[in-house]
Amino acid sequence: MSTDIAARLERLAARLPIAYPGPGGAIAVLRHGEVLLRHAWGYANAERRIAFTPRSLFRVCSITKQFTCATLLASCPDPEVLAPALRARLPQLDAMLPSIAQLCHNQSGLRDYWAVAMLLGAGAEDGFADAEAARVIGTTRSTHFAPGARYSYCNQNFRLLSDLLEAHTGSGFASLLRRHVLDPAGMETALLAADTRAMPDGTEGYEGSVATGFRPAVNRILWTGDAGLGASLDDMIAWERWIDATRDDPESLYARLRAPVAFADGTPASYGFGLDRPTEFGHALSAHSGALRGWRSHRLHLAAERISVVVLFNHMADPQAAAHEALAALLDRVRPAADSSLPTPPWLGAYVEPETGLLARIEAGPPGELRLRFTAGPDRLLLAPDGTARGGRVMLRPEGGALALERTGENLRTILHPVASAEPARGGAAALAGRYRCDELDAELTIADTGSVAYGAWSGPLGTGRMEQLDPAGADLWLLPCPRALDVAPPGDWTLAAQRDESGAIAGLRVGCWLARGLDYVRRA
């Protein structure tokens, strides 16, 4: 390692605890199989004064998905042998059954079960174990797009994979994971830590901020193939070194995980086998983040350059940003800055995307930037001289007097429809108030008029949700906030679109968010 690189990484190690403050964290940077930086700081458990070290166990959460797919590929040469068992897990599904590969690529069209759980009345801190998971998955009747047509993040795709592997092999997923991946990779202390209430070594996850203080996060859900892996920084270093050591073998597990994938129409897909495939600084990456209340992680790998970065935070700072800082330090690169001289375009405002029925809000950011609110979190877009706004795999483009949205990662290219002003709907809150039922979910939405302001809440087999104030977003459109889901971040605000009868009265609502859309609620009272 050159002295310049060593100095940059040393500065990075000193900066991270200040730039991303919280109880503790860890980072590793590797190149050509050599560990260039292995650093931990702070506390794994602040109350018990347990230091955070490279050996502290950590919930890597959704980074688990690539390990689940690796276990699948190692134990089933033809993964589609699991398809008959998948049908048995989805007995009420009227739509086309997704393939096993489409589960691996988040192309199944199934609605995410953490999002659907909120519609069923689950509380953010409720218990959610095997019985609740079986209830949500087993009663699925439809998909929100045809399998293979689009990408949509869906945790139970990977829960299904681990369940199907157990049924097919007769072995528990923990032992399959150990036999096929963890032991070969030398991940000595890694384990399936499915119960999110505690880690075996006492490592704790925290919520809060420097201003409010940090407190242990409360988790009561059960994860398996979707996000259940526990691993230390040293375990993750072993994974990255194993990937590098087997890089020339086309049949190695990671080579198979990185194999090109496509949508049903042949369009190349940028997510497959539990790995995202973005670019950064012009380099192709394979990467994934993980998050649970109190835990956030990110890993990335540049195969051509033989570079890996792993960041683990036991608090809610942004590990992806930290990992990209590390990559920039290693490559001595700077991310492109916004061009502050470019004028703010005239097409800010609210739109409806016609296929999904979701609201797209375009807002001004700092000079030269926009914010697009469409999925679970905002997209940062940089204005370009050609009149477009771009960020990652998202682009907004004026087109013949209309506004086009391209989200290539989701295989979505569409024309946005402007929303009429957000003036109160006909009849105001009183016209909207009532009880609405979704027969597909066996669940209800209650909307109350509390004096010209509408509040709404979900209820169903998993409980009775809390009332939240509705935000009028346009003519016959409202947003119902979801401040917290079961795992970590909200799935995105719920868009409620009124459906009126011949008399003009609201007869029903079409409900959706990015993770779970196209659900019809009929007015019952």
Cα-Cα end-to-end distance for the chain: 70
What gap in Å lies between CA 510 and CA 477, rounded to an integer? 10
Active site residues: 62, 65
- Can you say how many angstroms the Cα of residue 89 is from the centroid of all Cα atoms in its chain? 23
CA-nearest of 197, 179, 196 to 187 is: 179
CA-nearest of 492, 493, 519 to 508 is: 519
Identity of the amino acid at 515: L
Q: DSSP secondary structure string, 167-236?
A: HHHSS-HHHHHIIIIIHHHT-SS-EE--BTT--TT----EEEETTTEEEEPP--BB-STTT-EEE-HHHH
Q: DSSP secondary structure string, 420-444?
A: PP-PPPTTHHHHH-EEEEETTTTEE
How many other β-carbons are positioned within 10 Å of the β-carbon of residue 47? 11
CA-nearest of 302, 374, 119, 319 to 205 is: 319
Extract the tokens encoding 317. Answer: 């700072």
Q: Within 13 Å of residue 337, how many CA atoms lie on the same side as its CB? A: 5
Identity of the amino acid at 298: H
Burial class for 255, CB neighbours closer than 10 Å (0-12, 13-18, 19+)? middle
How many other β-carbons are positioned within 10 Å of the β-carbon of residue 398? 15
Asked whether the beta carbons of 302 and 283 are under 8 A apart, the reply is yes
